[in-house]
Amino acid sequence: MKYSPQKIERKWQKIWERKKIYKTKDVQKKSKFYCLDMFPYPSGAGLHVGHLRGYIATDVISRMKMMQGFNVLHPMGWDAFGLPAENYAIQHKIHPEVAVRRNIKNFKKQLSKIGFTYDWEREINTTDPTYYKWTQWIFLQLFKAGLVYESFEPINWCPSCKTGLANEDLERGRCERCGSRVEKRPLRQWVIKITKYADRLLKDLKYLNWPEHIVKMQKDWIGKSEGVEFEMKVFKGKRELKEKIKIFTTRIDTVFGMTYVVLAPENKILEKIKDKIENWKEIEKYKKEVEAKLVEEREKEKTGIKIKGILAENPFNKEKVPIFVSEYVLADYATGSVMGVPAHDKRDFEFAKKFNLPIRKVIEGGQKEGECYEGEGILVNSGEFSGLNSTQAKEKMAQWLKERKIGGKKVYYKIRDWVFARQRYWGEPFPLVFCENCKKKI
């Protein structure tokens, strides 16, 4: 007998639909198995191979569990809010709701033809108010717990999609949706405080049975750095300014090797002291050039501008060092300022060579004078801390800063709080109203 998909599939799918063989019944005696697919965006293009790759795998698992006697719940739904649906609607000059309804009909038709084990009586649409009221409820619980807040900080902005993006929405500095270069733009945003759970996210990776390279990728994404943060005084000639530069470092044991300081072009202290900077116009021009670059472009070449008329003081030896502005320092990580220790950091070493800055060895690692050694060792040329090993020095130096109330131990993470992209129309409404009279969110 010849297999004719058009005839055989159509016949049996009608029978399956009539008999509702995939309907999940509330049977108490059977063991339960819940299989949830990632709901698709109902785009105008319809299903693609990527959808089927995942859905066929979960369908195989669901069928196996059914054969093993489990009561299987395998639902399907539509992640129908968001930019893809809105952009499609704009292109076709129709309301997003109309576009979503039309596209869902096509998606459902395609999925039904394949014959998946979905219980269509449990179909979910994220644009349904009876569904998203629970999304709003969750948001309110987060808000009440202080885990949601408004931010006015610069965010990743896609000029094509005209929306804010989380770091996870970027691919090499470009929007993952349309490929446009992403800009930094200050905007009023609702943000989820995921950073509060950074340490827990990191620790709980050990419970996941994931491939090692995926676990490593997650660790790098969270990016925990343990070190020391301290303040440096800023001087205009002999006059101390009220502003301070905050430095975060994981290698405080090398602090006596600091021969310069570098600020990110976006560091807020620059605006505060601009009237004290002799070459402010040059700095301002450089800032604008850098802000137009992708992060990857900023890290390729060591460019920078020396700030004229301003120096920073190393609190450990009172030495005043020059301050530079450079694109290789990023404002959105730690303090947006770094101490330059060219003898013990390769990146600092390259920068110092380019700008002819002193290279001072303070860790004995067998290297020749003027070479870079990034390892740990015994401290030299480090005042009262000379002779200690790096581990001992880190502890004592952190305590030294703490006693003088100018610093101490600090932990930073690369992970950023999650931005809600809501500059566009098609999304679930925020369940908050700002009262102008009482100045409260209700």
Confidence category of residue 175, pLDDT binned at 50, 70, 90? confident
d(CA 378, CA 389): 4
pLDDT on residue 275: 95
Q: Are 267 and 336 in contact (CB under 8 A)?
A: yes
| Residues 144, 47 contacting (CB under 8 angstroms) | no
Q: Work out the pLDDT band at 295, boundaries 50, 70, 90.
A: low
What mean pLDDT do residues 52-66 have? Answer: 95
Closest C-alpha among 346, 342, 345, 335 to residue 321: 342
What tokens appear for 35 in the block? 């299989």
Mean pLDDT over residues 304-319, rounded? 97
Stretch 429-436: mean pLDDT: 82
**The tokens of 341 are what?**
């220790």
For residues 427 and 163, the answer to whether their CB atoms sit within 8 Å is no
Instruction: Answer whether residue 368 shows pLDDT above 80.
Output: no
Distance CA 151, CA 139 (A): 16
Query: Quick check: 17 pLDDT over 90?
Result: no
pLDDT for 433 beyond 90: no
Angle between helices 83-91 and 96-114 (to 10 degrees): 110
Question: Stretch 282-291: mean pLDDT, rounded?
Answer: 90
Mean pLDDT throughout 42-59? 89
Percent of the chain with pLDDT over 90: 66
Q: How would you classify the pairing of strands 320-325 and 260-263?
A: parallel
Residues 238-267 have a mean pLDDT of 97
Question: Over the stretch 93-126, which tens digit does the pLDDT of each residue have?
Answer: 999 999 999 999 999 999 988 889 999 999 999 9
Residue 350's CB is within 10 A of a number of other CB atoms, namely: 15
| pLDDT beyond 90 at 359 | yes
Q: In angstroms, what CA-CA distances link 394 with 34, 265, 343?
A: 51, 29, 17
pLDDT band of residue 259 (cuts 50, 70, 90) is: very high
Q: Does the structure show a pLDDT above 90 at 86?
A: no
Identity at 294, one-letter amino acid code: L
What's the pLDDT score for residue 155? 78
Pick the closest to residue 361 from 382, 347, 346 (CA basis): 382
Question: Among 133-142, 175-184, 312-321, where is mean pLDDT lowest?
Answer: 175-184
pLDDT at site 413: 93
With bands split at pLDDT 50, 70 and 90, how would you rate the model's confidence at 401?
very high
pLDDT at 245: 98
Phi, psi of 88 (to 5 degrees): -60, -45
Residue-by-residue DSSP string for 291-351: HTS-HHHHTTS---EEEEEEEEE-TTT--EEEEEE-TTS-TTSTTSEEEE-TTS-HHHHHH
* Cα–Cα distance, 302 to 309 (Å, whole number): 22
Q: How does pLDDT run across 330-351, given as a tens digit for each residue? A: 888 899 999 999 999 999 999 9
What's residue 435's pLDDT?
76
Burial class (CB in 10 A: 0-12, 13-18, 19+), 301: exposed
Contact criterion met (CB below 8 Å) for 95 and 141: no
Stretch 299-306: mean pLDDT: 84
pLDDT of 442: 66
Measure the CA–CA gap between 399 and 231, rounded to whole angstroms: 14
Q: Counting every residue, how long is the chain? A: 442
Average pLDDT, the chain: 90
The C-alpha torsion from 399 through 405 and 407 to 411, rounded to 10°, is 80
Does 54 score more than 80 pLDDT? yes
pLDDT, residue 421, reads 64
Q: Which domains does the chain have, with CATH numbers?
A: 5-125 (3.40.50.620), 137-193+418-440 (no CATH), 225-410 (3.90.740.10)
Q: Is the pLDDT of residue 153 over 80?
A: no
Q: Is there a contact between 334 and 306 (Cβ–Cβ < 8 Å)?
A: no
For helices 96-114 and 49-67, angle between their N-to-C axes, nearest 10 degrees: 50
327 and 333 Cβ atoms separated by less than 8 Å: no
- The Cα 21–Cα 63 span in angstroms is 12
Residue type present at position 331: A
What integer pLDDT is reported at residue 422 of this predicted model? Answer: 64
| Nearest-angstrom CA–CA distance, 418 and 398 | 31
Which single residue is written with the structure tokens 């908050």? 432
pLDDT reported for residue 296: 65
Rounded Cα distance, 265 and 123, in Å: 50
| pLDDT value, residue 183 | 81
What is the mean predicted confidence (pLDDT) over 11-19? 89
pTM reported for the whole predicted model: 0.77
Is residue 36's pLDDT more than 90?
A: yes
Q: How confident is the model at residue 65 (pLDDT cuts 50, 70, 90)?
A: very high
